[in-house]
Chains A and B, each alone.
Chain A
Amino acid sequence: MAAALAMPATAFAAGHCHHCGEALPANARVVELDGQARSFCCQGCAAAAEWIAQADLDGYYRLRSAAAGKVGEELPDLAVWDRADVQAEHSRAIEGGREITLLTDGMRCAACAWLIDRALAREPGVVDCSANAVTGRIRITWDPSRTALSVPLRRLAMLGYRPYLAGSEALERERTRERRRWLLRLGIAGLGMFQAMMMAEALYLDFDSTMPEATRDFFRWLTFLLCAPVVFYSGWPFLAGAARELRERRLGMDFLIASSTLLAYFASLVETIRGGPHVWYDAAVMFVFLLLAARMLEQRARSVASAQVDALARARPAFATRELGDGRRETVPLSLLAPGDVACVAAGEAVPADGVLLGDEAWFEEALLTGESAPVRHVPGDTVYAGTVCRERPARLRVTCTGTATRLSQLARLVEQAQAHRPALARLADRVGSRFVMTLLPVAALVFAGWWHWQPGRALEVTLALLVISCPCALSLAVPTALAAAHGALARTGLLAMRPDAVDTLARATDMVFDKTGTLSDGRPVLASVEVLAAGLERDEVLAIAAALERDTGHPLAAAFAAAASSLVAGSVEAVPGRGVQGVVGGRSWHLGRADFAAGREDDGALWLGDGVVAAARFVLEERARPDAAQALAALRAQGLRLHLASGDGEAAVARLAVGLGLDQRHARQSPEDKLALVRRLQADGRIVAMIGDGLNDAPVLAGADVSIAMGQGASLAHRAADLVTTGEGLLRIPAAVAVARRTRAIVRQNLAWAAAYNVLAIPLAAAGLVTPWIAALGMALSSLLVTLNALRLARQAPLPASGDNAGSPMSGEARA
């Protein structure tokens, strides 16, 4: 909550949208709310804020700790949610209506969940709803006889939270059940442990052995019963893990934990039956409880990762448009699309299934599959793949493969494998742990034999103490807890780690290569100068022609001309990828783009207007650096990183930006291959390279760098090439992330050093019989706790980026140059 109140006022100050915090465009909308004029970046944000004010929910703006998502002008088509087949698979009937769990993007903090709860509760027909900002899920119970599901969902979309399908109903319930089962295990272990400790304490406090044997045995049997659920229910994950390790014929941490626990438990049972001097139930339960708490921490890190997988799932279309035999079109869920169907894909949409292109030629962006960032032309008969993005022009295709058979699904499985893959650092800890167990077991056997020889009465106790105290939990905990805390801290600064190794590599990075457009600059070029080259044309005329040509392309360059009022209309507009636009304006054919394309001259980085041969005008567009770029670069330089700028743009534009920001290593006119070669050269010099790009035209170099950060610009599939993805556009989060990564590395080292030192000290003490099992359990626990607390320092010291945050809106990050 402190973060919510400490949100810098600048983030929502003048120049930024009141709702989503994005920089205001030239045609910002101003709406009066509560007597104050507020500016908005788009109609959608304005409408959302107006509704929030009308509904008396403006507390949202006070409570939030992160800016809202950009709403945008168009609402998605939600009618599909009312279809019976969608509801049958994704919702279930409950008393008083139906219940559905759906995913949404744009939920950034608890205030969003608060707003969604309130907004939906006021929709008639909505019986109950709950939004969870942690998992990004919304559960809605509605009465189908009073409202169609699409009505409350439209409200949700209007507020900027687009609904997405969240896997099947059964999968969702399994997820919730799993989370609750872990919580139950931990709670029962805790309660059981305290009760068992109470009994054990009574036995320990009986210093002069005055307790009648009957009472003592009664206590012991009670403890035995109390421990049973802790050992066998709460401790089940360890027992199951040990069984798995045995089946796989390797010894790991689970085996050591399970064998120590079972040994303590059953040895105590034997002692209880024969009335021996000691029992060790307390050691067993303490062991289970503390280790379970540690596992919960690891689980938390994994749940962050699975939320990321969900974010990727959103990149896949959930519905497809199918063409019927009579030419009509219908929207169907992806699961209903079958091979042989004809699917229609609008420009800018992702292809829903693998198929063969029909009709006209079309361009597809295949960055995800091939790493090639420029759209690729396909002619009818070519195979196009699910997940590629249709560009410039709608396409039709005959479906050949759907669902898990598609290339996309194969890739998605690869991503999931990579995520399940444990980080190299954690694998190292595992390997060390396994070796440790292998050496410890013979040592334990020797110690047992030794004590059996000298003092058979204490042999079991000493061996148990040795096993418990040396349990390398600190070792196995050191890395996961630090990584979990670091991932949490990174998420709060606005970076999601997509690969487990990302944090470690980022900490070791020595060089940082920046892309220009969309990374250091805001990707919204402004017109710097206009030069009219053809006789008989005025400045206003060429601007009007350019504006008409660019108006409907949705290209970032179009914004530069948006201010030029144009009554002209362009006909047969066609975008030529990587070169420009052509179309007919006022009866003449015009080309607008690179000099070689528009005017038959050598490309100089400027934008030319012409008929393809003769130049009519030359426009110089300038990109502005992001407001926080200079500050972020200075911070990175202070961290000792070497900074490079690599851009596909012309020398002049690159130099202007580089000089403005004080970057001396700059490379202009770089193709993706050149950028990759630059990174490889640096790597050959032994540098560790971090690449920061906007994740679309940089896919190959992002994949080639040691660690890569993609600027978050909506749900681009190419983000999968990056190790880290930002959730907004502020650049200050990058030095913050480097700082977190370096602290993580330091803390992991401290933890490993502590674990080693502790074991070197504790094992001889235990072998010498100076430690009783319960002290061993406590020592092990304190050591683990110390490691965990040390790791949690990472979470607490998370610095927040101080600058305003442009919410990652689902806009296209296409860059032509």
Chain B
Amino acid sequence: MRILLLLIPISLVLLGVAIAAFVWAVKRGQFDDLDTPALDILEDDDRPAPPRTQPREGGPPPP
């Protein structure tokens, strides 16, 4: 039973780590929106940025 003296502190430390990780994730907003990030991996995002122009002829008139 002496092994408990080692195992129980370990389990408590792990619990502490789990809670800390959870708190960190909540504070960082990881759970705020569960749908949008799922779309990220479906689309490559490393394509070049578009030309920086307002839409050409026919764009809505600037206000």
Contact = CB atoms under 8 A, between A and B. Distances in A.
A714 interface: no
10 contacts: A51-B50, A55-B49, A73-B60, A74-B61, A131-B36, A134-B33, A176-B32, A180-B27, A183-B31, A195-B11
Contacts of A59: 42-43
Interface in A55-100: 55-56, 59, 63, 71, 73-79
B33 to A, nearest CB: 4
A-side interface mostly = helix
Contacts, number: 110
Chain B interface, DSSP helix/strand/loop, else mixed: loop
B45 A118 contact: yes
A109 to B, nearest CB: 8
Given A63-B39, A215-B1, A215-B4, A122 B33 contact: no
B60 A74 contact: yes
B6 interface: no
Contacts of A180: 26-27, 29, 31
A59 B15 CA distance: 42
Interface in B11-63: 11-12, 15, 18-19, 22-23, 26-27, 29, 31-33, 35-36, 38-40, 42-43, 45, 47-52, 55-56, 58-63
A222 interface: yes
A103 to B, nearest CB: 15
Size range of the chain A interface in the assembly? 35 or more
Given A1-B38, A56-B50, A77-B63, A191 B43 contact: no
A51 B32 contact: no
Interface residues of B, number: 38
Interface of A: 1, 43-44, 46-47, 50-51, 54-56, 59, 63, 71, 73-79, 109-111, 113-114, 117-118, 122, 124, 130-135, 154, 158, 176, 179-180, 183-184, 187-188, 191-192, 195, 198, 212, 215, 222, 226
B36 to A, nearest CB: 4
Given A114-B39, A134-B33, 16 more contacts: A47-B58, A47-B60, A50-B56, A74-B60, A74-B61, A75-B60, A113-B35, A114-B40, A130-B32, A131-B36, A134-B32, A158-B60, A176-B32, A191-B18, A195-B12, A222-B12
A46 B11 contact: no
A64 B17 CA distance: 38
A180 B22 CA distance: 11
Contacts of A133: 33, 35-36
B28 to A, nearest CB: 10
Contacts of B22: 184, 187-188, 191
B36 A184 contact: no
Given A54-B50, A134-B35, A222-B8, A63 B55 contact: no
Given A73-B60, A184-B23, A122 B45 contact: no
A111 B35 CA distance: 9
Nearest to B14: A195
Given A63-B42, A63-B43, A122-B49, A75 B35 contact: no
